[in-house]
Chains A and B, each alone.
With several copies, the nearest count.
Chain A
Amino acid sequence: MSKIKNKSLRESYNLKPGDFNTERKPTWCLGCGNYGIWNSLKKTFVKLRLMPHEIVIVYGIGCSGNGANFIRTYAFHSLHGRALPVATGVKLANHKLNVLIMGGDGDGVGIGGNHFIHTCRRNIDMTYILHNNKVYGLTTGQTAPTSGRGFKTKSTPSGVLEIPVNPVSLALICGATFIARGFSGDTGHLLDIMKKAIKHKGFSFIEVLQPCVTFNKINTYNFYRDRIYKLEELKDYDRSNLNEAIKKSMEEEKIPTGIFYDIDRPTYEDGLKQIERKPLVDHMIADIDINRLLNRFY
């Protein structure tokens, strides 16, 4: 069980993106933005020369979460909103693994919002890919916390009254150390972001703008194509400037994509002496001597 992260020189790696397919075919609607994410991710694994068994992906519940059935790695299809704590447990138990989290916007910043805040603070070395379609897909079209104000859905026929959650801004305020936004209609760019995110040491977060062709008629491919630009195109954009990043993240007329923020901060695991030598899972537990502990109670 060794994590090969960053070991780009693995000999005789000959996997192809298709090797990350399971026997199940995706059931997403034709044209769904999830396909772009799915494709970029498989390619990213190949680029990073990762093997399926070295990866654990924890999924939320939603259209995005159904992806658990279509990507061949270790997978945990968890509860709605609870992917982050499950992933945290996996990573702490075996920090040699490459741990990713994939889930919807309702999952991640709706019901799961609290875990998002606290996982960002923790800076555990994992990568969270948020499929943001600004709607509840799997339950067939209610508002998400990311839906724009006024958005009319089955649960908000008079229009949403709240302002939306901005996942990138939230991640920035809460302390994630790598924060990016991609667009599932630009898989090349997305692949590039994913690669860097997985390589980043610490908690990396990618918001993917993911059109839901069935239930969101506002935030379509064209909507995004008309609005997005790449931060890379800006000459003097400084990825280590938090305030700058926050300001950028809140831009709405033109939507920045790319990497907003990328800094080094000790990870949570760095602070854990108990896993310095080896992962928890590698410890022998057959006959633990607790004499010392018993003696405490005299």
Chain B
Amino acid sequence: MKVSNISWKIGGEAGFGIMSTGAIFSKIFAKKGYYVVDNNEYPSLIRGGHNAFTVRVSSNEVFSIDKDINILVALNEETIKLHQEEVIYGGYIIYDEDSGDITEIKKARKDINYIMVPFSKIITELGVPRIMINNVSLGASVALLNYDLEVLRNIIRDIFERKGPEVVSFNIKSSEFGYKYIKEKLKINAYELEIVKPVNKMLLTGNDAVFLGAVRSGCKFYAAYPMTPSTSILESFASVENDYNIVTKHAEDEIAVINMAIGASFAGVRAMVATSGGGFSLMNEGLGSAALTETPLVIILCQRPAPATGLPTWSEQGDILFAIHASHGEFLKVVLAPGDPEECFYLTGKAFNIADTYQIPVIVMLDKYLSENHFSYERFDFKNITVERGKLLTRSKDIDAGYKRYLNTEDGVSPRAVTGIDRGIHIANSDEHDEYGYSEDGAFNRKIMVDKRFRKIKKLMEEIPPPKIYGPTDAEITIWSWGSCKGPILEAMNILNQKEKKVNLIHFTYLYPFDGESIEGIIEKSNKNIVVENNKTSQLAKIIMMNTGYRIKNKILKYSGRQFLPGEIVNGIEQIE
């Protein structure tokens, strides 16, 4: 059957290579130009518990995984129990009868094709390690899709090359065996994907894109303390520290992290940190220090379900109001929330420019879904990220005698001398201070300084674009959302479109400062406004109300620790109507 779109899922016990197997499956298709999105589900345990990896491949642009699965690879019985109902009518489940008797389970879905592939026996026969089951299953999957085995072979070769020819060979052998088992023994041909323009596509996560954007932006100091789902950014930076002359510091805790970055930024380099909610909580005091000393800083906040340790390996958008109001006292900060890796890339570049131009902290918010799942792109045009450092003084000769670090300028931004240059000597002071930086607690000075710092907002607001509108302007229904919900909503809009329902999306990537006026017109014009958020308390709706007074009553919220699937949004909208 020719299709434009298939979803494949593999499931098994945690700790058995599900993730890397899924990632290879994604790669096979991205290599040939298909649109790919994937999703990895795993527990906060090193072993035990259930892992699942879903890949959606399409010959048309695709924005999110969905619930319906065409092919399910079940490495254990539990996978069938947990995911069988996601398999579409007439879909396929690959399983091994040796991993459990499924005669009973099968009865529930007479429409599904259960394909028994004796994984265990095969690897015993081949004399390869147990973990090779993954390759057998990949080979079998490629065959079911009537896809090119050579692509898989090449990828396996790339990945295992450095482990030596023997490892490459038994990996390939296993996958070939799986392929042949389907092709030659069972002779099944389940689907065939429509052909696409054969370009090699990248596959990357939101975290990867942030990392790339930061390297491009000239980030020279990256500090972090591991915390899911932000950890991969640390590991990426560590892996290139010598190639790109970046100091990457795994510090003793998140408090050290933010303060080190502040120190580095004070000394003149671009500095960034990333963390998740718990670490961000600990960084709150430091955030204010960056603000009062007017030290630029970029903070990546990869959300996960909370409070406290919460659900470390799952997804939620629960921290936006916290981020906006974070740290004691009042100060200007910027909060951004990209919706996909491409936005992660460019907004990270933007974050650095804003931080430098206005000498303020900028927070970029992702969530586990966006941080850890892959999306396919042809390439990013990195020339679109430029470096704007604002009023940075790097040469003594640009500085007049009597230099004032906190000069009370019209736009609120004061020229900032990097450390080490002759005439730029100053105090960066976490106490309220005068224009020189000396501690000063007078009432008159305080007001001047608060006003100076807040005055930056004027120019800043000119840079902040209104939210993006996707879909028709004359929609019956307007969805309001932010960050990573973008993908599932765009998919849902496609589905609704097919049902001839006119829906559009107002998507916020700039969340703070919030320009209420720019959206008042849209809200009032729309027949039906609906907020879609991956949280319990509809935080965007609150932000909108706080800034416009408009109450969006319709809400589609999900707070089970999982991101939205498009179908859920479709259902939600149909229920509201």
Contacts and interface: CB of A to CB of B under 8 A. Distances in A.
Interface of A: 1, 22-30, 51-54, 56, 58, 61, 63, 66, 68-69, 72-82, 84-94, 96-97, 110-111, 113-115, 117-118, 136-140, 142-143, 145, 154-158, 214, 272-275, 280-281, 283, 285-288, 290-294, 297-298
A63 B263 CA distance: 22
A136 B227 CA distance: 11
Nearest to A86: B263
B286 A288 contact: no
Nearest to B261: A89
A290 B215 CA distance: 7
B262 A294 contact: no
B464 interface: no
Given A85-B256, A86-B259, A114-B253, A94 B419 contact: yes
B218 interface: yes
A114 B253 CA distance: 9
B203 A297 contact: yes
A78 B308 CA distance: 9
- The 5 A-B residue pairs with the shortest CB-CB distance, nearest first, are A285-B218, A89-B263, A27-B48, A85-B259, A93-B267
Contacts of A53: 419-425
A93 B263 contact: yes
A115 B218 CA distance: 27
Interface stretch (B233-241, B472-480, B543-551): B233-241
B259 A89 contact: yes
Contact of A110 (B30, B253, B380, B439): B253
Interface string B186-219: 0000000000000011111000100010011110
A94 B253 contact: no
A92 B264 contact: yes
Nearest to A68: B427
B49 interface: yes
B261 A294 contact: no
Given A114-B252, A293-B215, A89 B223 contact: yes
B48 A85 contact: no
A54 B421 CA distance: 8
Contacts, number: 268
A90 B252 contact: no
Contacts of A61: 309, 430
A89 B266 contact: yes
A74 to B, nearest CB: 5
Contacts of B218: 283, 285-286, 288
B242 A111 contact: no
A275 B271 CA distance: 15
A29 B420 contact: no
Interface of B: 15, 30-31, 44-49, 200-204, 208, 212, 215-218, 220-221, 223-228, 231, 234-235, 238-257, 259-271, 278, 285-286, 289, 293, 308-309, 379-380, 382, 387, 418-431, 437-439
Nearest to A112: B253
A74 B420 contact: yes
Contacts of A155: 224, 226, 234-235, 238, 248, 250
B267 A274 contact: no
Given A29-B47, A82-B286, A76 B293 contact: yes
Given A72-B425, A77-B427, A154-B238, A288 B216 contact: yes
B259 A1 contact: no
6 contacts: A53-B425, A77-B309, A79-B309, A86-B259, A113-B252, A142-B226
Contacts of B254: 111
Given A137-B46, A297-B208, 6 more contacts: A78-B259, A86-B260, A117-B252, A142-B234, A293-B212, A297-B203
A103 to B, nearest CB: 13
A273 B216 contact: no
Contact of B426 (A75, A87, A214, A275): A75
B221 A93 contact: yes
A297 to B, nearest CB: 4
A137 B45 CA distance: 9
B216 to A, nearest CB: 5
A171 B412 CA distance: 43
Nearest to B218: A285
Contacts of A117: 252
Contact of B217 (A23, A272, A283, A285): A285
Contacts of B309: 61, 77, 79-80
Which among B49, B259, B293, B387 has the greatest number of chain A C-beta atoms within 10 A?
B259
